[in-house]
Chain A
Amino acid sequence: MSAQIFPRNANAIFLASLFGLVMLVVGTIAAMVGFYLSPWYTDVGVAKAQPVPFSHKHHVSELKIDCRYCHATVEKAATAGFPATETCMSCHSQVWTTSPLLEVVRTSYQTGEPVVWNRIYDLPDFVYFNHSIHVAKGIGCSSCHGRIDQQQLAAKAQPLYMGWCLGCHRAPEDHIRPREEVFNMEWDVNSLSLAERQRLVIEYQIPTDGRLTNCFVCHR
């Protein structure tokens, strides 16, 4: 019988380090998943600095200006339409005309140089989202943009993961609302019963045969 190379407690050390290694791997994976879902990675609820500290809360909630006043193409085009400087100046040539906060807007209007805003919702280039079809089928602004009317500086309300998109494409009745309530920020989906919402899905001719989850619906 050969001499023992390892002391007796080597067994315990080996098992303990095996356990530690497994915990390290599991912990690393858990930390990565947690980071992936956290606002540090998704930017959900993280307001970005903008060249002008534009407040949706003030304009939407306090002044009651319709979303479409600035996002004029939301019912017609893929993009909701980013307001031109001219849109800002429609009112701000009359109100807050000397505010230093709006100097950027006035300069832009005089020189024709666009104001460079920081994009909040940035989809990957292989996703072809279309605002107009969602609005036409009774999906409201707040379904994706949250209570933007309560935000001073705009922030993302959804991480925009594909599973989130698919959740609604699989079960549109969980999020649908009457077309005339699309721009109502305070709409509560539970103010209609499930049966009433299912009737809306049929009335708006939203396909429920699984077509909405085909890859090419969003990826082309």
Chain B
Amino acid sequence: MVHSVRRSIFTRIARLAWLPLCFLLVACHVDMYDQPKYKPNDVSNFFPDGRAMQPPPANTVPLNSYNPDSPLMTGRIEGQLADQLPPEIKLDAALLAHGQSRYNAFCAPCHGLVGDGNGVIAYRGPMTVTSLHNDRLRTVQIGYFFDVITNGIGKMYSYASRIPPEDRWAIAVYVRALQLSQNADVALLTEAELQQVRAGR
């Protein structure tokens, strides 16, 4: 009786002897984790400069209806700074809101949230940042802002690689709104807005 009980325990254990083998099966097959392909910002052992994202050769243009000489892409009409928006850009509240979010992200660090040139980088750095509120910039063509964002000016770097052309136009439009906000004629305000101003709100 005792023998048979003991034997059955052994048999049961022996039947489970394959379980440790499972550890071999669940082991580390990570070859699909790292496939022989490039993802953005990968390191490359193939290209001499070591980067998978190769800079495009000079004069490369995207494949579509892209026209590098159009007012949309240059901010210029026949070589002169554009004094109106290109036909692809529709002026509406959504464009202004978009421009505001782009301005606050890309321009405000230096130019400040209201465009007075008192952004946090200007505050910390040794340089003077141009205020957007002067007669020269209030009267300049709107294409000028597009041109400066695209090509940079003075100590300001080009933002062409970071801000797509459509967003640059949105920022240019928002800059106009900022200028109006700091230089509005009291006569333009409605009575309700005047009361808000007087109440200090």
On A, residues with C-beta under 8 Å from B are 18, 25, 63-69, 72, 76, 78-79, 82, 84, 86-87, 89-91, 93-95, 112-114, 116, 119, 124-126
Contact = CB atoms under 8 A, between A and B. Distances in A.
A181 to B, nearest CB: 12
Interface string B19-32: 10000000000001
9 contacts: A25-B19, A65-B109, A86-B161, A89-B157, A91-B125, A93-B155, A114-B51, A125-B33, A126-B35
Nearest to B156: A90
Contacts, number: 72
- Chain B, interface residues (CB within 8 Å), range: 20 to 34
Given A79-B40, A116-B43, A90 B49 contact: no
A66 B104 contact: yes
Interface string B158-191: 0101111000000000000000000000000000
A78 B124 CA distance: 34
Sort A-B residue pairs by CB-CB distance and give the 3 closest, nearest first: A66-B105, A125-B35, A95-B125
A54 B176 CA distance: 35
Contacts of A93: 155, 157
Given A87-B162, A89-B157, A124-B32, A94 B127 contact: yes
A72 B108 CA distance: 15
Contacts of B109: 63, 65, 69, 91
Interface of B: 13, 19, 32-35, 37, 39-41, 43, 49-51, 104-106, 108-110, 120-121, 124-127, 155-157, 159, 161-164
Contacts of B121: 63, 91, 94-95
Nearest to A64: B120
Question: What's the dominant secondary structure at chain B's contact region?
Answer: loop
Question: What's the dominant secondary structure at chain A's contact region?
Answer: loop
Interface centre among B34, B120, B127 (most CB of A within 10 A): B120
A79 B41 contact: yes
A82 B105 contact: no
